[in-house]
């Protein structure tokens, strides 16, 4: 799959004000300064789409980006774990994130970004466990692979997998990316495309089932004695 066009649509802190659509949304989240905006820009091949900053914690709202004329959406969520924020602000961001993830029916898959250079962090592991407890569909995306040699990057990922296996019987899909080198772009987009096709097929089946139900109801109305 290729992204033909991508444009910023809306930002807000209220899930109820998110776009009223029936198309899939793919949300991106991670610790502050994990490279979330850079990854989104790399996927869309638009360096100015999602605003990047050297200062962590700049994403403060739910940001929607329309992909391929509204066929699906990328959603940039506030980062978690930024210590410089005050307690009340952290709690507010937690509310925004939790409400979107648990109650936004269009949210099809959550991509959890993790810096490939670091050992497993407590806050990341707790967040993954929370997603598992709430049965949220998600995938892990390791970022900044260009900061390590290929062998070191793979070693870190394997170490992370071994750690996760201590808590998880089955691991979610895992991707290795580099915004600088565009590594992992095709794999991520192919994964999204696969899910999109499954969603479309499911929607077709639902429409077919509804039509058959309506047809059966009409036939019974015409022949009440049957």
Confidence of residue 226 (pLDDT cuts 50, 70, 90): low
The residues that bridge with 142 in the sheet, in sequence order, are: 114, 176
Summarize pLDDT for 84-113 with one digit per residue, the tens. Answer: 445 666 677 678 889 999 999 999 999 999
The 3-state DSSP class for residue 93 equals helix
Contact 106, 73 (CB under 8 A): yes
The 3-state DSSP class for residue 198 equals helix
> What is this structure's pTM?
0.87
Contact 109, 141 (CB under 8 A): no
Name which of 127-131, 143-147, 219-223 the model is least confident about: 219-223
Specify the DSSP class assigned to residue 183. B
Residue of higher predicted confidence among 178 and 211: 178
């Amino acid at each position: 799959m290729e992204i033909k066009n991508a444009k910023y649509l809306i930002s807000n802190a209220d899930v109820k004000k998110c776009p009223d659509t029936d198309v899939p949304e793919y949300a991106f989240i991670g610790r502050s300064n994990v490279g979330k905006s850079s990854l989104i820009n790399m996927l869309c091949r638009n360096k100015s789409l999602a605003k990047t900053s050297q200062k962590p914690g700049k994403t403060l709202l739910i940001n929607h980006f329309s992909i391929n004329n509204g066929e699906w959406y990328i959603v940039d969520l506030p980062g978690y774990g930024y210590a410089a924020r005050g307690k009340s602000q952290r709690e507010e961001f937690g509310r925004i994130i939790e409400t979107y993830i648990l109650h936004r029916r269009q949210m099809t898959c959550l991509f959890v970004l993790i810096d490939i250079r670091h050992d497993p962090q407590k806050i990341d592991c707790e967040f993954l466990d929370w997603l598992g407890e709430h049965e949220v569909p998600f995938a892990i995306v390791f970022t900044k692979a260009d900061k390590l040699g290929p062998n070191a990057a793979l070693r870190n990922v394997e170490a992370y997998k071994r750690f996760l296996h201590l808590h998880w019987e089955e691991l979610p899909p895992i991707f290795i990316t580099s915004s600088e080198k565009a590594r992992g772009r095709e794999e991520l987009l192919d994964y999204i495309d696969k899910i999109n096709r499954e969603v479309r097929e499911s929607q077709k089946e639902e429409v077919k089932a509804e039509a058959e139900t309506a047809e059966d109801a009409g036939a019974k109305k015409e022949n009440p004695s049957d």
